[in-house]
Structure 1
């Protein structure tokens, strides 16, 4: 959106402190107005736009897939490498054709963008979405998908599919106005035995190390007790 010069989700005054050293600016920038932000985000020449062109939309590291909103069948059909390349070309202004998978507008009544998908952030993920996830991760030879985008009120949580694939939701609603849980997801892999299963844990601000199983499928009991047509309200986490 920012590369489209659409700042509707950004405040009028925005801090770019973290970019100061990156771009060797003469004076430390405390706040930047929209006009300056538009210069930084201008496709083909803006420093932030050019930096973002080096950042892929979807990243796969071993059996782990990282994406902001979530994989969709359209993403897989288009091709992850192709999508990353198309977005990079658009940000560099090698082309003026915007990749359609960046569009937040629902197609056929539903979102298809890997940046805007929210179905995997729902307290109870629909069975159809989990079935789709099984198929997509199988094609990528992956075990789990890690997503953000949809805030998780009660902390990082995971959902396991029937095929023992996983989706981890790590947006804990941390920002300068709403202080959510300070947590991170840790994925440990034995590099000497890459075929061995990874260890997944949740690390909390107070030093606790929480086994993934305690945060996985935490809404199963709720699912059993609620009608599928009812709106589920999750209970707070105990760990």
Structure 2
């Protein structure tokens, strides 16, 4: 048996060229390559498409007691600052800056790391037992007045829009695109910042509006201090 040094030399020789990254599109037709290049150009920071449709949209939106985000929020995001995330995200989307190889500058860390606001899945697993509800509650507690988080990114099939973590995590990615299941459209409606409703088109015949129903597990404690609470209390016996 030869020495470890000889073995290492042989291994290196056998793997010559291994450091060179293979072309991931080597077996793809030129037509598809062309389409991919066009898609990359259209969705690159600074492109007219992104400037028109995405630049004015926040990465994280707080509306009433609800937080909206594509993937999910973690305590580190709240500590970094939601306004800061929105501002720096918008600046990157609008920036035409390019690296020497012609590719766009890498985006902010909260867009491309494992814990990015667009990649987080801690609260959206289709198996509710895997969701980190304690982490979600800790995150919401850092945002005074926030009771629930609405997120997409992880397809919720079968079942469609649903809630877990005692109604604090509402998952709305139903997989509408043909490549992701081709599911029927669903609508999330939050009424008076308290009642969470879902409208499912699949529950009604084609051409008719879907039937709305309260999303189970999302009910908040009754609030009798405001106008709507007092009205509901006064009319309680008459409301079916």
Paired position in structure 2 for 1:184: 187
Deviation at 1:181, TM superposition (A): 4.0
Q: How big is the shift at 1:152?
A: 0.7
Q: Counterparts of 1:151 and 1:132 in 2: how far apart (Å)?
A: 21
Measured on the aligned residues, the alpha-carbon RMSD in Å equals 2.9
Q: Which runs of 5+ in 1 are unaligned?
A: 1-11, 15-31, 105-110, 190-196, 218-239
Equivalent in the alignment of 2:212: 209
Match of 2:148 in 1: 144
* 2:112 paired residue number: 103
Mapped to 2, the partners of 1:35 and 1:188 lie a distance apart of 43
**Shift of residue 72, structure 1, vs aligned partner:** 1.2
- How far is the alpha carbon of 1:76 from its aligned partner? 1.0
Match of 1:155 in 2: 160
Alpha-carbon distance between aligned partners in 2 of 1:119 and 1:90, rounded to the nearest angstrom: 26
Q: Larger Rg: 1 or 2?
A: 2
Q: Identify the match of residue 87 of structure 1 among 79, 86, 89.
A: 89
Question: C-alpha offsets along residues 163-195 of structure 1, whole Å, 9 cap, x if unaligned?
Answer: xx6110111111123222432211111xxxxxx
Aligned equivalents of 2:148, 2:48: Cα separation in 1:
33
Deviation at residue 43 of structure 1 after TM alignment: 2.5
From the superposition, tell whether residues 179 and 76 of structure 1 become closer, same or farther in structure 2 (CA, over 3 Å).
Answer: same
| Preserved contact between residue 64 and residue 143 of structure 1 (Cα < 8 Å) | yes
Name the count of aligned residue pairs. 172
Give the TM-score normalised by structure 2: 0.63
Give the unaligned 5+ runs of structure 2: 1-29, 98-104, 205-209, 220-240
* 1:43–1:172 CA distance, 2 compared to 1 (3 A): closer
Which residue number in structure 1 is paired with residue 65 of structure 2? 63
Say whether residues 1:74 and 2:76 are aligned partners.
yes
Distance (Å, rounded) in 2 between the aligned partners of 1:64 and 1:208: 23
Q: Deviations over 1:123-142 (max 9, x none)?
A: 21547x21121122122221
Distance 1:41 1:126, change over 3 A: closer
- Partners of 1:55 and 1:64 in 2: how far apart? 16
Separation (CA, whole Å) in 1 of partners of 2:31 and 2:138: 43
Equivalent residue number for residue 116 of structure 2: 113
Q: Secondary structure, in 3 states, of the residue corresponding to 1:38?
A: helix
Q: Quote the offset at 1:66 in angstroms.
A: 0.6
| Structure-1-length-normalised TM-score | 0.63
